[in-house]
Homo-oligomer: A and B are copies of this chain.
Amino acid sequence: MRVMGIDPGLTRCGVGVVEGRVGRPPTLIGVGVVRTPSDLDVARRLLALEQGLEVWLDEHRPEAVAIERVFAQHNLASVMDTAQAAGVAALTAARRGLPVTFHTPSEVKAAVTGSGSADKAQVAAMVTRILKLDAAPKPADAADAVAIAICHVWRGSTTNRYAAAVAAAKGKNQ
């Protein structure tokens, strides 16, 4: 399954594409960021983000898109910008008929490091190790996007295997 992970943002929106299967380490297909000019107003930046994400979707043709869920805990003004960016990211994927899943930061951290409270450096280090890279993807938003994609591949397959096991168990009981 090819998954595009998106770490939403207006200044730097992280994008990471991995290909993965159950029981195998995922492979990195592409990683980077979409930047939008800070001298534009929010609406124009959202338009630039849409255009940048369309290029990534055209080029990498993911089967699913995973987006980090935004929480309103820290800087409220920037959180609203981030939520708007997440909305545009979800929209571009939905327009192509792709499944869109939101994962919380702690789900992503737990999936790649084993700890829901890991810091950014730990996440980047585990992403580097899991994908057998020479160095962590940079900037941090790009590494986070890859972690979101890995999280989705691994959680997705867990969910699928669980669903399959439940279905099999039901079959046995009938």
Q: Give the copy number.
A: 2
With A71-B76, A72-B76, A84-B83 as contacts: A42 and B102 at CB distance below 8 Å: yes
B83–A87 touching, CB < 8 Å:
yes
B80–A43 touching, CB < 8 Å:
no
Q: Complex: how many Å from CA A44 to CA B80?
A: 20
Q: Complex: how many Å from CA A87 to CA B79?
A: 12
CB-CB < 8 A to A76: which residues of B? Answer: 71-72
Report whether over half of chain A's contact residues are helix, strand or loop; otherwise say mixed.
helix
A4 interface residue (CB < 8 Å to B):
no
A108 interface residue (CB < 8 Å to B):
no
Interface residues on A, range: 20 to 34
Q: Complex: how many Å from CA A70 to CA B77?
A: 9
A47 interface residue (CB < 8 Å to B):
yes
> A52-95, CB under 8 A of B: which get 1 and which 0?
00000000000000000111100010011001111110110111
* A binding-site residues for B, Cβ under 8 Å: 41-44, 46-47, 50, 69-72, 76, 79-80, 83-88, 90-91, 93-95, 100, 102
